[in-house]
Amino acid sequence: MLGTVPPCLAIPMASTVLVDLVPPIALGVLLAVAFWQPSGPVEAGVALAAAGCCVVTAASSRGSDTITGHWQRVSETGRDLSKDPNAVTKVWAADRLAGDLDPLLVSSRSNFALGDYETASFAAMKAVEVEVRRVAGLPNEMLGVALMRKAFGPKDGALRDPDAEGGERQATADLFAGAIGAYKNPASHRTVQFEDSIEAAETIQLADLLLRIVHRAEMRLKRAL
């Protein structure tokens, strides 16, 4: 239930810092984000601050917020989100990428943060393609689905897992070929309208998983030397 107003929305009128009043739509968006947190208003305020939706201000002349010890105000990011009808969805999508990702996905994360979901998804799968080619020692002429099937070929692919059953080796080759075919190849040949922030985040997560498999194969190759 909606109870205590989260600290990010507890804006003191007597604050020594100039604070804009929160417009009604911003209040609705921030409340939706805040009270999704199951642990209560303190955690909600921390989550909003971590997302850049609010910032700590100077304490008011009447003392600081009794919940967090600080007064907070809505940030520029929070105000921008209040004007976006897809704000809550974008917050959830960004949260999916809050953890550690493979260092090769830095560019993807940056483009995602800028709202360029097509480039973010393409860059993620391109990183997979480039890394597969490098680890498998295959020529630059090999691209896309053909590269994946060569590198993970169940019989003689350089990155296949020799300890896995034949069906599993084939499934891994299909997984890589399908991911590249569905999420990299289309963007390589034409403009793709990629506006779903959650799907873009999940594409980057998929690339992270694929890179983990590639690096696991790389470790096997190094141990075999």
Same structural domain, 154 and 207: yes
CA-CA distances (angstroms) from residue 197 to 72, 87, 118, 179, 187?
28, 10, 10, 18, 16
- Segment 94-101 mean pLDDT: 82
Q: Convert the pLDDT of each residue in 163-189 to its tens digit.
A: 999 999 999 999 999 999 988 877 655
Same structural domain, 116 and 218: yes
Higher pLDDT, 163 or 54: 163
The pTM for the full model equals 0.65
CATH number, position 115: 1.20.120
Same structural domain, 66 and 19: yes
CB 151 within 8 A of CB 157: yes
Q: 36, 35, 98, 34: which is closest to 72 by C-alpha?
A: 34
Q: Convert the pLDDT of each residue in 73-86 to its tens digit.
A: 666 666 666 676 66
Q: 9, 26, 121: which is closest to 73 by C-alpha?
A: 9
Total residue length of the chain: 225
- Per DSSP, the three-state class of 170 is helix
List, in sequence order, every residue forming a beta bridge with 73; answer none if it has no partner: 55
**What's the domain range around 153?**
103-224
Same structural domain, 165 and 65: no
Same structural domain, 198 and 108: yes
Q: How confident is the model at residue 188, as a pLDDT? A: 59
Proportion of the chain above pLDDT 90, given as a percent: 42
